Amino acid sequence: MKKQILIIFVLFCCLSGVQAQTQRAKWMQEAKWGVMTHFLFEWQSRVENIEMNVTKWNEIINNFDVEGLADQLQKVGAGYHVLSIGQNSGYFLAPNPEYDRITGILPSKCSQRDLVADLSKALRKRNIKLIVYLPSGAPSMDREAVKALEWTNGPYPNVEFQRKWEQIITYWSKKWGDAVDGWWFDGCYWPNVMYRGDSEPNFKSFARAARAGNEKSALAFCQGVFFRTVSVTPYEDYIAGEIIDPATLSINRVFDGIVDGNQLHALSRIGAQWGMGNPRFKTEQIIGWTKQMVNAKGAYTWDVPVQINGLINDAFMQQLTELGKALQ
């Protein structure tokens, strides 16, 4: 009898975990599609031909037009926005004392303005959700940060790095709370080596750090480009879904918008490169691929470049506007 009760309890816990997964990202089915922007130090400096430094970075972040971008997203009908916190340069668009303490970098390369918090306020007024993007590795262009974070690029456990990275993520998550609806973690290229072990740090502790401030936060871990929508871990809530050529995407084994316990989702770019370049697709192609995803009860995220003031230029706005109309 005790054994039967234990089995029932374990099954209940497993089912509760799956239900939590699907519920955290369920809103994506109604949102249908969203817009991603890479607002990065290294990319903005290249596009604008600016010699960047801490002072210039803070100036640019202070002039980012959150209300203007939120207006644009509302106009096109996007259900959510994905914003990069930072990537390889070591410059981030929100303050993080934990990062500064661990790396010892002065002056801080984390912006003084909390752009995530400010953009979230602007989006909330328009009923648009916010997901934040962060790599799962150290900023590779910043040697000082790489050394302090104890990061080794490649198929290595990186135990000490991951413990430090989780502290940094935990700070942001607690600071933002429910102002952030989800996370998209890039570069989880070696999940068997780094995250799937029984001992922490692993996917479980990684997810716990990201949800420290909002237990309802939807997570995705990107292992790289896949032609088929596939889940990486039970500790994520939606499929990362990175794809370079949307025409090659294969949507299989989807049941009511769910793939192996996680919400169906895909991410691609409209520009010639991530966060850069001119539109590379015809509008009807973008509409067709998005409708294919929405018809399967999934969500599609489209990356578009933004100007130095944070606004999307007219060429991309025209395509996003037509996409929004087609999905009304």
Through-space distance between the first and last CA atoms of the chain, rounded to whole angstroms:
54
- The whole-angstrom separation of Cα 250 and Cα 268 is 14
In a domain, 13, yes or no: no
Whether residue 4 lies inside any domain: the answer is no
Reported as a single tens digit per residue, the pLDDT across 167-180 is 999 999 999 999 99
Give 51's pLDDT tier (boundaries 50, 70, 90). Answer: confident
Mean pLDDT within 37-63? 90
Q: Residues of 308-319 as b/e, b for ≥16 C-beta within 10 angstroms?
A: eebbbeeebeeb
In a domain, 5, yes or no: no
Q: For residue 60, what are its two tokens?
A: 């640019």
Computed over every residue of the chain, the mean pLDDT equals: 93
Can you give the residue range of the structural domain that contains 116? 34-326
At residue 33, the 3 state secondary structure works out as strand
Residue 109 lies in a domain: yes
pLDDT in tens, 301-318: 999 999 999 999 999 999
> Is the N-terminal amide bond of 107 cis, ω within 30° of 0?
yes
CA distance 40 to 262: 29
Query: Is residue 293, in this structure, part of any structural domain at all?
Result: yes
In a domain? residue 82 = yes
Report how many domains make up the chain: 1
pLDDT at 43: 83
pTM of this structure: 0.93
pLDDT band at residue 98 using 50, 70 and 90 as cut-offs: very high
pLDDT the model gives residue 190: 96
Q: Per the domain annotation, does 8 fall within a domain?
A: no
Tell me the CATH number at 69.
3.20.20.80
Q: What is the predicted pLDDT for the residue at 102? A: 98
Whether 172 is covered by a domain: the verdict is yes
At 20 the pLDDT is: 63
Q: What is the pLDDT of residue 5?
A: 46
Confidence of residue 10 (pLDDT cuts 50, 70, 90): very low
Residue 4 Cα distances to 8, 12, 119, 254, angstroms: 6, 12, 51, 32
